[in-house]
Amino acid sequence: MNNISKRLSHLSPWLFLLPTLLIVLAFRMAPMLYALWMSLFDWGLAGARKFLGPGNYIYLFSDSRFGQSLLNTLFYVLGVVPASLFIALFIAVLINQKIKAAALYRTALFLPVITSTVAISLVWKWIFNPRLGLANQALSFIGIKPSLWLEEPAGILNVLLGPLGLQLPEILAGPSLAMVAIIIMSIWHSLGYNIIIFLAGLQSIPEHYYEAASLDGAGKWASFRHVTWPMLSPTTFYVLLMSTITSFQVFIQIYAMQGPVGGNPLGTTRTLVYYLYEKGFSDWQMGYANAVAFVLFLIILALTIIQRKVLESKVHYQ
């Protein structure tokens, strides 16, 4: 009886977990495995399905649109992640001071996060309108020539160097001005969430650390460098990890601001997820679209592992 009761006690946690495990298997793992199976075929929406094996994956290496989409995605990630991290940290440090109406500031900054991304994208699309948008009106006010913004395919460095008569090769010119506009909108949209996370991290730092630093003669910058920054390393690592993952999956902003035809101007705003959408739901090449999805999954997985290996050792947990 004792052996039976021990076995039952070991099984009971699994019985409680069983409903959740079944849901995960049915709605997560099974579709993922089925999508992986589809990626091995020339799989249209209807009709014959031809087995290609790794053919879809091999074709990716010669697909110029996939290469351009990957480069655009990297531009987006490199534009959004560092800027949103440091701006959010700066604002969080300011709000964490003993100031009036701090709760009001937190609420105002967090509102874009809970607002529909489509609605926000449409508002920013109007802001970047070449003729009536506020962005060009602001540029005109300070004496700068208006820009095409979401319609401009030229790289941002070529746009800036153009008046000087200088032109860089396309790959060195950076993201297009259209992509920069989307990056600006995305930074603003995600800022509130990162600020709240950093605020939580700042408020969890024990006050006596700052008191000890003050007794040692440390000023505000020294206290931030030797107390705040090391103690915030778990929060910073989390924000960096999650921001990287979500940035690689950007789609809604591109779709809403560039329209259902996407990838314009000249494909400079087509990201990997948008390319996946085009191949799957415009060209009806479901097998190839799933191959793109799994390559994206492998890229995100590899970057996550690298970040954990390289950065997690530098995280100071209390």
pLDDT in tens, 82-122: 999 999 999 999 998 877 877 888 888 999 999 999 999 99
Spell out the domain ranges in the chain: 2-55, 57-314
Q: What is the dihedral of CA 76, 248, 250, 181, to 10 degrees?
A: -10
Number of alpha carbons in the 13 Å side-chain half-sphere of residue 107? 4
Architecture of the domain delimited by 57-314: Orthogonal Bundle (1.10)
Considering only the C-alpha atoms of the chain, give the largest distance between any 2 of them, rounded to a whole number of Å: 88
Mean pLDDT of the chain: 89
Residues in a beta bridge with 49 = 43
Segment 176-201 mean pLDDT: 95
pLDDT at 48: 67
Token code pair at residue 40: 């091995």
Q: How far apart are the C-alpha atoms of 80 and 160, rounded to whole Å?
A: 20
Residues in a beta bridge with 155 = 176
pLDDT in tens, 246-274: 999 999 999 999 876 544 688 899 999 99
pLDDT in tens, 24-71: 999 999 999 999 999 999 988 776 688 999 999 999 999 999 999 999
Residues in a beta bridge with 41 = 51
Segment 4-19 mean pLDDT: 77
Token code pair at residue 34: 């089925």
In this predicted model, which residue has the larger pLDDT, 295 or 11?
A: 295
Concatenate the DSSP letters of all residues of 199-210 into one string: HHHHHTS-HHHH
pLDDT in tens, 232-249: 999 999 999 999 999 999
Confidence of residue 10 (pLDDT cuts 50, 70, 90): confident
